[in-house]
Amino acid sequence: MKKSLKKITRLIDSLALDTVMLDPEDIPGLGKTLKSLESIKDLAGKLDQKFLIPVISGMKGYLEKVILNETSDLSPFEAGVSELQKLCRDLADGKESDKDISPLLKSLGYKVQGLPASPERSDGGRGSEVQGLEGTPGIIGDEDKEIIIDFVTESLDNLGTIEIKLMDLEQDPSDLETINAIFRPFHTVKGVSGFLNFNKINKLAHISENLLDKVRNKELSIDGEIVDIILESVDMLKSMIENVQASLDTGTPLEGDIDTKQIIVRIEHFLAKAQGDGDKPLGEMLIEKGVVSDQDVKDVLDIQKKQDGKKIGEILVEQKKVETKEVVSALREQKGFGRLVALHVKVDTGKLDNIVDMVGELAIAQSMFRQNKLIMASRDRDLDQIVNRLNLLTSGLQKTVMSLRMVPIKSTFQKMLRLIRDLAKKAGKEAQLVMSGEDTEIDRNMVEEIYEPIVHMIRNSIDHGLELPDEREAANKPRQGTIYLKAYHKGGNIVIEIEDDGQGLNREQILKKAISSGLIKEDEKLTDVEIDNLIFHPGLSTAEKVTDISGRGVGMDVVKNRIVEKLKGRVDVQSMPGKGTTVYTRVPLTLAIIDGMIVKVCDERYVIPTLTIQESFRPKRTECHTVKGEGEMIMFRDHLLPLVRLDQMFGLKGNSLSNKIDSHPWQRLVVVVENQGGRRCLLVDELISKEEIVIKNLGGALKNIKGVAGGAIMGDGKISLILDIAGIFDISSGESE
C-alpha cells in the first residue's frame, strides 16, 4: 500500500503542476491530463479509499465536459486537484479523513451516495475551494520562497503583456488572437496564485478571466469601458503581487489590504449583461459545416427531449452521426488559436553581466596573446592557424554574448500606449500613438535608463503639444491628435523620435519666460533653434498652471541630463508653429563595446569611436589656414573645419614628431570626426589600427573628465583613453570651463 500511495502522490503532484498551466483551449493538454487521471484512478483502486475514487471520477467527468466545451471554467477541477493532494497527505500521515467532499463533487457535477459529512465543520459544509484559498500562507521555507519569487516575476511580466495587448484590442476588437493573448496570462496568474494560496489575487484574476472568456465567446463586445475595467484589475493585481514581493522578507508573504470587492462587483455587472446570450446553436454550426443534415439534427433534438439533461453533442456522438473531433471543432470554431511559442531560458542578470565581463577580459587576453613578441616572431604555420582560429572564436563569442544584452525597444514603446491613453483622458484630449521601428534593438542596461526620458517627452507632447479637440477642429485638424514614436539606427546610435502634430513651441512665450528667469538678456538675439533649445534649461516651463501631467519645468531638464550625462547621448528639438514638434534623442547602442580607431598622439594612444570618423588624411600645405578669431582651420571638401590639437588639449609632452613640427599640421595626420551635424579635424601623429574595444569605467574620481568617455586595456596590457567626441567639441568651442 505504501508503494502505491507514494506513486499516486507523485502522480497527483505532477498533475497539480500541469494544472497550473492548463488551458481550456488546449485539447492536447486536456487529453494528456485525462490520461493522467485514468492512471491515478487505477492506482487509487488498490488503496481502497472511499474518498479518492469519487473525487477522481468527478474530476474525470468534469474534464470531459471541458473538452466538449460545455464549460471553460477549470476552477472546480483545480479544487479537485488540491483536495486530492490533501487526501494523500492525510493518508501518508496515517489519518482517516473526515472531510465533507460533497460540495466539491457537486461543483464537479458528480453524484454519489453514502459519503460521510463532518458535522464539526466550521465552514457550514462549503467544502474545499480552489487550491485552499480560505486563508493566507503561513511562515514559508526557502524552497517555497523561491517558488513565490518565480510567481512574482512571471506574473508581473504576464500583466505587462496584458496591458500591451489591450491597447491592440481596443484598436481591433475582433482580433481573436489578441483576445487569447490577454486571456492566457490571466489564466496563468489565476492558476499559480490559487496553488500558492493567494486568495484575493486568485479571485480577481479568475473573474477577469471570466470577463475575457465572454469577450472571446462574442457574448460581450470590447469597448472603452471594458478595457478600462480590465486595466484597473491589472493595476490592482500588480499592486497585490508587489505587496507579496515586498513582504517576502518577513517570512509571511501577504497581498496587502487592497479592497477588491468594488471592482469584482463591476465585473460581475458585465458578466450579468452577457448572461443568456450564448453562442450559435451547435446543430446549426454542424449543418453549416456540412457535417450533418437538417434531419439528423431534428432526430437528435427529439431524442434530447426524452433524455433530459443530455447535450446535443453527446447524443450526436452516441448516434454515430458525427465524430467527436467534428463536435469539438465546431464548438471551438471561433475560439481556436495558433501557438507559436519561442523557447526561453531565464538567466539571472547578474550572471549575464559577469559573462559579458569575462568575455571582455577574454578578448583582451586574446589580443595580448596575439601581440606577444614570441607569437609575432613565430614562423610556425600550425601556430598561425591556431592563433587565427582563436581570433575567430573569440570574436564570435564576443558578438554572441553582446547580442544577449540586446533587446527590442518594443516593450518600452508599447508601455507608452497605456500612458498616452491615460494622459489624454486626464487632459480631456483625444490622442493616438503611431509606432515604427519598435524591433530596433538596444542594450538591456539602457532600456530602463531611456524609459523615464521618453515618459517626460510624451507627457509634454500631450499637455503642451496637442490642442483640445475643438481647437484642433477649428484649425482644420482631426479632433484626434497623433503622436509618432519612431526608433532606428543611424551612425552607430539608436535614434528615438517623438513627434506630435500639435501647435508647436510658442517661441514668444519661451523667450518671455527665459528673460524673466534671467536665462538670457532682453536684447539678446537668438535663432529659432536656440530658442527651441531653451526648454531644456532647468525651471523653464511655459505652462500657465501646474497640473499632475506636467508644468513644473523639471521634465525636459531631466531628459537632457539623463541622456547626455548618463547615456552619453544627445537630445535636439525641432518645431514648426501650428504643425507640431519633434524631439530627437540619440544614444549609443551599447555602453559595453565600441568599434574604435587607435591613434597615437605624442607617446600616448587614444581610441576614437569609428562611427564618428568621416575620413583621415594628410593635409596639404595649401589646405591649412589660420582664420583670425577662429584659430586653425583645415580645408576639407570645400569647407573650412576647425583644427583640434589633441596634444595641446590634453597637455601632452614627449619626443615624438608632434613636438618637432607642432606648427605644421601638413606634416601630420588629421582625422575628420562628426558630432550632431558638426565636424572637426583632430590632429594626430599616427593611425595604428582599428579594433573592437571593451569599454572600462574610469571610476568615480575620473568619471567627469571632459573629452574622455572611458578607458580600454590594449593588447600590450597598457591602458588607452577612449575619446568622447561630443566633449571634445565642447572644449574646442570654448564651452567647457
The string of DSSP letters for 624-645 reads: EEEETTTEEEEEETTEEEEEEE
Q: How far apart are CA 177 and CA 183, in angstroms?
A: 10
pLDDT at 661: 44
Query: Can you say whether the dihedral through the CA atoms of 706, 709, 710, 713 is positive or negative?
Result: negative
Which residues have CB under 8 Å from 639's CB, separation 6+? 679
Q: How far apart are CA 511 and CA 521, in angstroms?
A: 10
Amino acid identity for residue 394 in this structure: T
Task: Considering only residues 423 and 188, tell me which one the structure prediction assigns the higher pLDDT.
Answer: 423
Q: Which runs of consecutive H residues, i.e. helices, occur in 406-442?
A: 410-427
Structural contact between residues 450 and 442, judged by C-beta atoms closer than 8 angstroms: yes
Q: How far apart are CA 47 and CA 50, in angstroms?
A: 9
pLDDT at 48: 61
Which residues have CB under 8 Å from 345's CB, separation 6+? none
Structural contact between residues 306 and 315, judged by C-beta atoms closer than 8 angstroms: no
Query: Phi/psi at 161 (nearest 5 deg)?
Result: -70, -30
* Other Cβ atoms within 10 Å of 298 Cβ, number: 10
According to DSSP, the β-strands at 631-636 and 639-645 are antiparallel
pLDDT at 684: 92
Query: Smallest Cα–Cα separation from 595: which of 670, 694, 515?
Result: 694
pLDDT at 180: 78
Q: How far apart are CA 81 and CA 56, in angstroms?
A: 9
Structural contact between residues 215 and 226, judged by C-beta atoms closer than 8 angstroms: yes
Q: How far apart are CA 710 and CA 697, in angstroms?
A: 5
Kind and range of the H or E element at 78? helix 75-92
All three cell numbers of 28, joined, read 492536447
Query: Smallest Cα–Cα separation from 706: which of 523, 545, 564?
Result: 564
Range of lowest pLDDT (260-264, 327-331, 648-652)? 327-331
* Residue 335 in this model has a pLDDT that exceeds 50: no
Task: Considering only residues 190 and 291, tell me which one the structure prediction assigns the higher pLDDT.
Answer: 190
Amino acid identity for residue 175 in this structure: D
Q: How far apart are CA 130 and CA 22, in angstroms?
A: 14
Query: Can you say whether the dihedral through the CA atoms of 670, 671, 672, 675 is positive or negative?
Result: negative
pLDDT at 124: 35
Based on C-alpha coordinates, what's the Rg of the chain?
34
Q: Identify the bridge partners of residue 615 per DSSP, sorted by sequence position.
A: 672
Q: What is the pTM of this model?
A: 0.50
Q: What single DSSP character describes residue 701?
A: G
The SS3 call for residue 347 is coil
Query: Smallest Cα–Cα separation from 229: which of 302, 298, 170?
Result: 170
pLDDT at 637: 87
Q: What single DSSP character describes residue 696?
A: B
Structural contact between residues 162 and 182, judged by C-beta atoms closer than 8 angstroms: yes
* Residue 368 in this model has a pLDDT that exceeds 60: yes
pLDDT at 484: 93
* Residue 546 in this model has a pLDDT that exceeds 50: no
pLDDT at 122: 34
pLDDT at 448: 76
Helix pair angle (2-20, 27-47), 10° resolution:
160
* Residue 593 in this model has a pLDDT that exceeds 90: no
> What is the average per-residue pLDDT within 430-440?
87
Predicted confidence (pLDDT) per residue in 346-356, tens digit: 677 778 778 87
* Longest distance between any two alpha carbons in the chain, whole Å: 112
pLDDT at 276: 44
Q: How far apart are CA 724 and CA 685, in angstroms?
A: 19
CA-to-CA dists, residue 338 to 26, 315, 335, 341, angstroms: 10, 30, 10, 9
Query: Smallest Cα–Cα separation from 291: which of 265, 254, 258, 317?
Result: 317
Amino acid identity for residue 162 in this structure: I
Kindly write down the DSSP assignment for every residue of 241-299, as one continuous string. Answer: HHHHHHTGGGTS----S---HHHHHHHHHHHHHHTTT----HHHHHHHTTSS-HHHHHH
> What is the average per-residue pLDDT within 649-655?
75
Range of lowest pLDDT (129-138, 491-500, 569-578, 642-651)? 129-138
According to DSSP, the β-strands at 441-443 and 406-408 are antiparallel
All three cell numbers of 408, joined, read 527590442
Q: Percentage of the chain with pLDDT > 70?
A: 78
pLDDT at 116: 40
pLDDT at 120: 35
Predicted confidence (pLDDT) per residue in 285-322, tens digit: 677 666 777 777 778 777 776 665 567 777 777 777 77
pLDDT at 671: 93
Q: How far apart are CA 681 and CA 612, in angstroms?
A: 12
Range of lowest pLDDT (302-316, 486-500, 504-518, 705-719)? 302-316
pLDDT at 76: 85
All three cell numbers of 606, joined, read 587614444
Across the chain, what does the average pLDDT equal? 76
Q: How far apart are CA 50 and CA 503, in angstroms?
A: 76
Structural contact between residues 576 and 560, judged by C-beta atoms closer than 8 angstroms: no
Q: Percentage of the chain with pLDDT > 90?
A: 8
Predicted confidence (pLDDT) per residue in 214-249, tens digit: 877 777 777 777 888 888 888 888 888 888 888 877
Range of lowest pLDDT (293-307, 505-519, 530-544)? 530-544
Q: Which runs of consecutive H residues, i.e. helices, occur in 332-380?
A: 349-370, 373-377
Q: How far apart are CA 285 and CA 330, in angstroms?
A: 6
pLDDT at 257: 80
Which residues have CB under 8 Å from 340's CB, separation 6+? none
Amino acid identity for residue 359 in this structure: V
* Residue 149 in this model has a pLDDT that exceeds 60: yes
> What is the average per-residue pLDDT within 477-501?
86
Query: Phi/psi at 135 (nearest 5 deg)?
Result: 115, 180
Predicted confidence (pLDDT) per residue in 459-475, tens digit: 888 888 899 999 999 99
Instruction: State the number of CA atoms in the 13 A half-sphere of 199 facing the CB.
Output: 15
Q: String of b and e for 494-526 (b: at least 16 CB within 10 Å)?
A: bbbbbbbbbbbbebeebbebbeeeebbeeeeee
The SS3 call for residue 723 is strand
Predicted confidence (pLDDT) per residue in 382-432, tens digit: 888 898 888 888 888 877 877 777 788 887 887 888 788 888 888 889 888
Q: How far apart are CA 459 and CA 558, in angstroms?
A: 13
Q: What single DSSP character describes residue 551?
A: -
Query: Can you say whether the dihedral through the CA atoms of 731, 734, 735, 737 is positive or negative?
Result: positive
Predicted confidence (pLDDT) per residue in 695-734, tens digit: 777 766 666 677 887 888 777 778 888 888 878 888 887 6
pLDDT at 47: 65
Predicted confidence (pLDDT) per residue in 97-143, tens digit: 666 677 788 888 776 444 444 333 333 333 333 333 333 445 566 66
Q: How far apart are CA 74 and CA 56, in angstroms?
A: 15
Q: Across 59-73, 343-357, 573-587, which has the greatest mean pLDDT? A: 573-587
* Residue 328 in this model has a pLDDT that exceeds 70: no
User: What is the C-alpha end-to-end distance of the chain, expressed in Å?
Assistant: 85
Q: How far apart are CA 458 and CA 46, in angstroms?
A: 66
Structural contact between residues 330 and 289, judged by C-beta atoms closer than 8 angstroms: yes
* Residue 342 in this model has a pLDDT that exceeds 70: no
